[in-house]
Structure 1
Amino acid sequence: MNEITQALKNKNAFIGFAVAGYPNFEKSAKYIVDMANAGADLIEIGIAFSDPSADGPTIMNADQKVLENGSKTEDVFRLITEIRKDTNVPLVFLTYTNPVFKYGYEKFLSKMKSLDVQGIIMPDMPLEEQEAFINIAQQYGRAFIQLVTLQSGNRLPKIVSHASGFIYVVSSLGITGSRHKLSNEANEIVTRIKELTDIPVAVGFGINTYDQAKLFSSADAIIVGSALVKIIEEHPDDATTYLTEFIQKMKGARNATN
């Protein structure tokens, strides 16, 4: 968890996202390393799932391609092993509860520790059912990252009390995907969270332009997912230059706010 805090300490961090195994195993490993080399401070690794309820069409299509290629959880772990040969950038998994439950909570978290994956996000695990998982995560020193939405309301203090690593503020209602307009309400939520905790706060969902990256100056980081997956979708054979230019542009926007 210290690696996550260290990565987000400068208050202008960029968190990228990639679907493990997309567009294929070799390119996926390369593009994640490329993101780190381009300046991503932390990278979320999405584990493909057949019913990704929080994801929009871009990430769903990537998930479907990965599942059609026959990817299993062990393939994701093998991918991390390859990535770790070339970068020490902090990594967190983004997945759903069922695959982790089927693999076994303790076994999964133990594997994360051995692979140097610092944290995990599971958006569909209800707050009321998290205690057992949090206890195991703490035993293995892995962060269980909490999501806060525009509708969290009075539940916010309880969500924050469960958080570790960083807190993920969902900037808009609905599913993941690029948006033309984003609400400024997320900044208000970030301010409320910072009154309750010193844990870093990141804002994501829909951020895909330079101007949008500048909107959330109150946050310690922005998270960009669908826009990066879209770049890989459009340039599956050689996305390196496009990913690098995009990340450096968004990092420039973050630096301009501080």
Structure 2
Amino acid sequence: MNRIDQFFQQRNEPVLNIYFTAGFPQPDSTRTILSGLQKAGADLIEIGIPFSDPVADGPTIQQSNKKALENGMTLRLLMEQLKGFREEVQVPVVLMGYLNPIVQYGIEQFCQDCEAVGIDGLILPDLPMYEYQIFYKEFFQKHGLHNIFLISPQTSEARIREIDANSQGFIYMVSSASVTGAKQGISQEQLGYFERIQQMKLKNPKLIGFGISDRESFQQASRYAEGAIIGSAFIKLLEKLEQPEQDIKNFVESIKQPATQSAK
């Protein structure tokens, strides 16, 4: 069974998915961050594949992509760095990126290498569903990779139902018609969207991303979905790491701890 499915079957509290960009802040940071997140108690880990034009991402993640590329990070180097990471990391791990680098890599080879190193799923925002079904699905399924689609407040109910029918693992629920990045609070408009999706009773778990940055927004989002995704706020932490393992532990605990504990 895919680790993502296994995890969601066993979960009993809100799910914290942490995103970071491969090759940032240093070319060899990937394994250190993965290990730190595992030890800190992150539930899922999302590794960003650096790309020159990350259209869904705000300035913080865009800058991390730029720095990672300057550091010499490539998809092939990432695959090399990931070899053996399953010896120390058991939580589900997904790769998030854009289609161009994967096409250049070779889709079948990419899926084969993902399986070999232990990747569980893929988030490819610019992969059209039609192309996925016709050209990619057989390779994803052959190598045990879940394809995770995104929905937004503008996605129609018919489209959401179609995505739910064709998704595996979970649905990435984009919180607003915007790019990634920490924002001040969750608006009433967003809450209305969250409630609308909650009432649809989708078969897949949902994780809310874009604008989730602290314990308050994480807990608020988790009332309407199985959990949430934090990216930009974690990237900002990585920019100023002093003691990687402890700093990452403190960050994850600050998100997951109940208010009474974090106030101590």
* Same fold, TM-score > 0.5, yes or no: yes
Instruction: Determine which of 172, 180, 192 is the counterpart of 1:185.
Output: 192
Q: How far, CA to CA, are the matches of 1:37 and 1:227 in structure 2?
A: 19
- From the superposition, tell whether residues 152 and 253 of structure 1 become closer, same or farther in structure 2 (CA, over 3 Å): farther
Q: Is the 8 A contact 1:106 1:136 kept in 2?
A: yes
Instruction: Determine which of 26, 30, 33 is the counterpart of 1:31.
Output: 33
- From the superposition, tell whether residues 162 and 125 of structure 1 become closer, same or farther in structure 2 (CA, over 3 Å): same
Q: How far, CA to CA, are the matches of 2:105 and 2:259 in structure 1?
A: 38
Query: Which has the larger displacement, 12-21 or 24-33?
Result: 24-33
CA deviation map 1:122-156 (0-9, x unaligned): 00112232212122211211100010111111311
Q: Is the 8 A contact 1:25 1:79 kept in 2?
A: no
Matched, 1:41 2:46: no
- Output the amino acid matched with 2:172: Y
Instruction: Determine which of 158, 171, 179 is the counterpart of 1:167.
Output: 171
Q: Say which SS state the counterpart of residue 18 (structure 2) adopts.
A: strand
CA deviation map 1:204-258 (0-9, x unaligned): 11101211111121311211111111100122x53332321121121224999xx
Q: Is the 8 A contact 1:213 1:253 kept in 2?
A: no
Return 5+ residue gaps in structure 1 as ranges: none
Return 5+ residue gaps in structure 2 as ranges: none
- Output the amino acid matched with 2:245: T
Instruction: Determine which of 186, 205, 219 is the counterpart of 2:225.
Output: 219
Q: Say which SS state the counterpart of residue 55 (structure 2) adopts.
A: coil
Q: Is the 8 A contact 2:36 2:244 kept in 1?
A: no
Q: How far, CA to CA, are the matches of 1:173 and 1:211 in structure 2?
A: 21
- From the superposition, tell whether residues 186 and 135 of structure 1 become closer, same or farther in structure 2 (CA, over 3 Å): farther
- When the two chains are superposed, the root-mean-square deviation of aligned CA atoms in Å is 2.0
Runs of 4+ in 1 over 4 A off after TM superposition: 253-256
Counterpart in the other structure of 2:119? 117
Deviation at 1:98, TM superposition (A): 0.7
Q: TM-score, normalised by structure 2?
A: 0.89
Deviation at 1:78, TM superposition (A): 1.7
Say how many residue pairs are matched: 253
Counterpart in the other structure of 1:4? 4
